[in-house]
Structure 1
Amino acid sequence: MTVLAHLSDLHLDGGAESADRVRRVVEYLTALPGTVDAVLITGDIADHGTEAEYHQARELLAPLHDRHPVLLCPGNHDSRPQFREVLLGLPAGPAPVDEVHDIGGVRILMCDSSVPGRPEGALEPQTLRWLDDTLAAAPDRPTFVAFHHPPTPLGLPYIDGIALREPTALAKALERHDQVLAVLCGHAHTAATTAFAGRPLLCAPGIASTALLPWEQGPEDSWKTHEAPLALTFHLYEEGDAEGDAEGRVTSHVRAL
């Protein structure tokens, strides 16, 4: 079995509140009696994309790196040059941050859906080519594809208005590769489950805050609240067998802290 801890939207801004929320999640994950194969953080690590915010993130996430592999991708609040240099130790530059990881029997593609200076998302042509080529190179390897912006509406008007643009090209790429188990996203600030391109689409809760659905909002409410409990998702992948599910199975558990 492969176990992935999935969290998103830390929005570290140099302040005590966001840092405390991240610290509590890190303490929970590092104190687990057992281990997970990796921790995925699907974007919006920083709130303003400053170098100082990424240094804060690196410090807060250090205990997590000591215990588990930590995989990251940028969100719309992130800045590629600082993200690459401070968090990944790569040369600072404007290129998309696309990485492949082989972890615990699965392959995880961390893609960059950020659009510099814009809240909505898009997968650049070079990212789509990289995604297609990387999937084609390992057709028998069970694979998760992860990025920040959900590629399909979730029923949250604000989030749906700044979701992934032009998702058809992504859908066509995924449909060419049967080994893709699920698509993992952030951005929604709520645990949400739907489908995209015939695969489960699984959105992690937001660490910084939680989005409110339209019927949860009163006249004084904003689209998100900082009083909501912290939460993350555990994704489990179990390989198939001849007697049961030959294609394997993905099971997700949302854990409120």
Structure 2
Amino acid sequence: MILVAQVSDTHFDLGDRNAERARRVFDFLTGLRRAPDLILATGDITDSGKPEQYEQARAVFAVDIPVLTIPGNHDDRVAFRTALLGVPAASGPINRLHRVGDLTVIALDSSIPGEAGGALGADTYRWLRAVLAETPADHRILMALHHPPAHLFSPIVDEIALAEPDRLAEVVAADDRILAVLTGHAHSPATTTFAGRPLLIAPSTATVLGGVWELELPHHVMDYAPDPAVALHLIGENRALTTHFRTVPMSGHCGHAQ
């Protein structure tokens, strides 16, 4: 079994609230009887892309489990590289790769500097095709990005989702190794299908964003009351993917069954 934990939209903002909620989730993950093989953070690591916010995130992400991060629309590519990843400054997309066992996790940068919506550029598609070509034929693949490439019935996110989703769908549909597409951005756990595969949207650790059935715009957009949550993706020996969404309490007992 391979276990990938997905956190999203942590929105580190130099305040205590969001940092403590993310820390609580990371404490939960590191305390599991079966530790995750990877923690995947699908964007909006910070609230406004300041170097100090990435330093705050880096302190929470410093655990004995590999952490794979990609930017979201609230992030800044230069500060993301220098302050979070500790690599030289650059302005191009931050596409990343992690392999564990026979699982390949491909993380794509769907952010557009200065814009809320998302897109995958020509450089990213070239990189993606090269990675797919070099990935062993017997590997299973999880593809991750920040912006969902599907309609989620969200009065906020649907207006700033991934542009040209059909282009990505062609790539996904053509590769049987891809088990699912994972995203964030929606601040709500959700599932649907995309290119014939599961599209799994992780909850935010910071807030919950309601859907069209419950929001009265422009008011009551974000709910700050619910506890943070995480998605747990398990790939079994039968090569099937199972996902659990788990709430992590901010008060009271947060231990694990013995």
- Counterpart-to-counterpart distance in 1, 2:157 and 2:20: 25
Task: Name the residue aligned to 1:176.
Answer: 174
Task: Name the residue aligned to 2:114.
Answer: 117
Q: Mean alpha-carbon deviation: is it higher for 186-195 or for 169-178?
A: 169-178
Equivalent residue of 1:216, what SS? coil
Task: Name the residue aligned to 1:105.
Answer: 102
Structure 2 residue 21 is the aligned partner of structure 1 residue 21: yes
Tell me the CA shift for residue 237 of structure 1. Answer: 0.7
- Counterpart-to-counterpart distance in 1, 2:43 and 2:218: 28
Write the letter of the residue equivalent to 1:236.
Answer: L
Task: Name the residue aligned to 1:41.
Answer: 41
For residues 56-76 of structure 1, give each alpha carbon's deviation from its aligned partner in whole angstroms, at most 9, with x where no partner exists: 1111221x2xx2111111000
Write the letter of the residue equivalent to 1:129.
Answer: R
Matches within 5 A, 1:31-180: 31-62=31-62, 64=63, 67-138=64-135, 139-180=137-178
Task: Name the residue aligned to 2:199.
Answer: 201
Matches within 5 A, 1:212-223: 212-217=210-215, 221-223=219-221
- Counterpart-to-counterpart distance in 2, 1:72 and 1:22: 14
Equivalent residue of 2:69, what SS? strand
Task: Name the residue aligned to 2:247.
Answer: 256
Tell me the CA shift for residue 239 of structure 1. Answer: 3.1
Equivalent residue of 2:156, what SS? helix
- Counterpart-to-counterpart distance in 1, 2:231 and 2:76: 25
Tell me the CA shift for residue 104 of structure 1. Answer: 3.4
For residues 46-89 of structure 1, give each alpha carbon's deviation from its aligned partner in whole angstroms, at most 9, with x where no partner exists: 00000010011111221x2xx21111110000000110112212
Unaligned runs of 5+ in 2: 249-258
- Which of 202, 218, 237 is residue 239 of structure 1 equivalent to? 237
- Counterpart-to-counterpart distance in 1, 2:208 and 2:159: 17
For residues 7-33 of structure 1, give each alpha carbon's deviation from its aligned partner in whole angstroms, at most 9, with x where no partner exists: 100001111111111111121112222
Unaligned runs of 5+ in 1: 241-247
Structure 2 residue 5 is the aligned partner of structure 1 residue 5: yes
- Counterpart-to-counterpart distance in 2, 1:105 and 1:69: 16
- Counterpart-to-counterpart distance in 1, 2:58 and 2:191: 30
Contact 1:8–1:187 at 8 Å: present in 2 too?
A: yes
- Counterpart-to-counterpart distance in 1, 2:237 and 2:86: 34
- Counterpart-to-counterpart distance in 2, 1:175 and 1:16: 42
Write the letter of the residue equivalent to 1:162.
Answer: I
For residues 90-140 of structure 1, give each alpha carbon's deviation from its aligned partner in whole angstroms, at most 9, with x where no partner exists: 211101001111113200001100000000000011101111221122233
Contact 1:2–1:105 at 8 Å: present in 2 too?
A: no
Task: Name the residue aligned to 2:253.
Answer: none
Contact 2:102–2:138 at 8 Å: present in 1 too?
A: no
> Identity rate of aligned residues, in percent?
44
RMSD over aligned Cα, in angstroms? 1.4
